[in-house]
A = this chain, B = another copy of it.
């Protein structure tokens, strides 16, 4: 047997165990699932020192590999971060159980009563990079929604993920739930990922969490359905009637609060009638805040703005950089978004209700906004508790994916001897 064969066999074994666990989890009580999460949180806090020590091994290796400061910060665990992860587990534990929730119910004249009720999806695969907290959040959300999960973390966070995973398994054991409900792929070999992506009939959906490289690879190779977004090419359109104060506040927050998240704005579209007033004010404020503004001709006329190149439209900077373009009207703004956007989050700043409604209805993105910062594009901000990711596809899941979107449904039909005529 080659190494590849070995890994394929190992992944198939992990898959078979996950399916068996999924059957048991599907009928687990809400209390058992919450208990498991609370016990896992307790274990994390009790072993915080061990977590930090395991993470220190990952950090040493990462420094040896010459990873950058941003990457190191993402990877790092201290006791405060371990406590935050535990708190996140407790928050998920406290949420309502989506499984068994009756979504709708109705009676038919034929004498049957029908309920549509949420059920788990089955087995979820999560492929992620360096953030250790994804191990806990993804594991917890899948458990909450009654799904077994196969976690495949990045090689940089190998020891951290293993330490966190051990706490999750301790929680499962404490609640008498199958330990195979949350499995961590033990190998760092890339062949394990390839195998996962082809495990149709075993894994029901794959969620990739990470940069464009990882997500693009998963989307291109996967035969299993994928919930993901490749990029967050987020636009804000300053309409002619935009309120100057709101525009300023929203754009600054959407660009500078955090530049590295997918809800950060990457392109500002400015109505021609607003460029000399609201537009100019917003651009100057961005420059003052240290943001590099790459503008179309009219915007580049403002001192400090550099000329945008064609490849600055539809570009995800994830940095203190923003593209800015003047457009003739609402239609031109929506055309730009349809052409360059990524179906993630797009926003209009306007005081004109008709323009707002057209934007909300006609822009085909997972999240469309009026007069709000695009950094609200987040499961926590939507009130879902944690999110496993944000999806831009149109099948099943869309926008922030919380526990509820990790469920399917079935119909329960009750009669009293009813037959079809």
In-complex Cβ contact of A110 among B370, B376, B395, B420 (8 A): B376
Known: A366-B411, A416-B246. A383 touches B204 (CB 8 A): no
Contact mask for chain A residues 28-48; partner B; CB cutoff 8 A; 1 contact, 0 none:
000000000000000000000
Contacts of A356 in B (CB 8 A): 414
- Of A1-9, A125-133, A315-323, A357-365, the one contacting chain B is A357-365
**4 new A-B pairs (CB below 8 Å) besides A368-B412, A370-B412, A395-B408?**
A112-B376, A254-B419, A368-B413, A373-B415
- Of A78-86, A114-122, A176-184, A277-285, the one contacting chain B is A114-122
A366 to chain B, nearest CB (A): 6
B253 and A376 within 8 A (CB): no
A132 to chain B, nearest CB (A): 24
Q: Does A340 sit within 8 A of B, measured CB to CB?
A: no
Q: How far apart are the CA atoms of A399 and B115 in the complex, in Å? A: 12
**Cβ contacts A to B, 9 pairs, < 8 Å:** A100-B361, A250-B417, A252-B419, A356-B414, A369-B414, A370-B412, A372-B414, A378-B420, A399-B411
Q: Does A169 sit within 8 A of B, measured CB to CB?
A: no
B369 and A413 within 8 A (CB): yes
Within 8 A of B (CB), among A5-25: 23
Within 8 A of B (CB), among A384-409: 394-396, 398-399, 408-409
Q: How far apart are the CA atoms of A368 and B26 in the complex, in Å? A: 15
A370 and B419 within 8 A (CB): no
A331 to chain B, nearest CB (A): 12
Q: Does A339 sit within 8 A of B, measured CB to CB?
A: no
A420 and B376 within 8 A (CB): yes
A413 and B119 within 8 A (CB): no
Contacts of A121 in B (CB 8 A): 394-395
Q: Does A60 sit within 8 A of B, measured CB to CB?
A: no
In-complex Cβ contact of A368 among B399, B410, B417 (8 A): B410
In-complex Cβ contact of A395 among B376, B396, B398 (8 A): B396
Contact mask for chain A residues 248-275; partner B; CB cutoff 8 A; 1 contact, 0 none:
0110111001000000000000000000
B416 and A371 within 8 A (CB): yes
A interface bracket (residues with beta carbon within 8 Å of B): 35 or more
**CB-nearest residue of chain B relative to A361?**
B27
Contacts of A412 in B (CB 8 A): 360, 368-370
| Chain A residues packing against B (C-beta within 8 Å) | 23, 26-27, 100, 106, 108, 110-112, 114, 119, 121-122, 204-205, 225, 243, 245-246, 249-250, 252-254, 257, 338, 356, 360-362, 364-373, 375-376, 378, 381-383, 394-396, 398-399, 408-420
Q: Which of the listed residues A121, A205, A364 has the most CB atoms from chain B within 10 Å of its own CB?
A: A364
Q: How far apart are the CA atoms of A205 and B356 in the complex, in Å? A: 31
Q: By DSSP majority rule, is chain A's interface helix, strand, loop, or mixed?
A: mixed
A155 to chain B, nearest CB (A): 30
Contacts of A383 in B (CB 8 A): 106, 108, 114
Q: Which of the listed residues A112, A254, A398 has the most CB atoms from chain B within 10 Å of its own CB?
A: A112
A395 to chain B, nearest CB (A): 5
Contacts of A112 in B (CB 8 A): 372, 376, 381
B398 and A408 within 8 A (CB): yes
Contacts of A378 in B (CB 8 A): 420
B372 and A204 within 8 A (CB): no
B360 and A382 within 8 A (CB): no
**CB-nearest residue of chain B relative to A368?**
B412
**CB-nearest residue of chain B relative to A399?**
B411
Q: How far apart are the CA atoms of A61 and B278 in the complex, in Å? A: 70
Known: A373-B420, A382-B108, A417-B249. A26 touches B364 (CB 8 A): yes
B360 and A122 within 8 A (CB): no
Q: How far apart are the CA atoms of A368 and B253 in the complex, in Å? A: 50
Contacts of A338 in B (CB 8 A): 23
A408 and B382 within 8 A (CB): no
Known: A225-B395, A362-B27, A367-B410. A110 touches B415 (CB 8 A): no
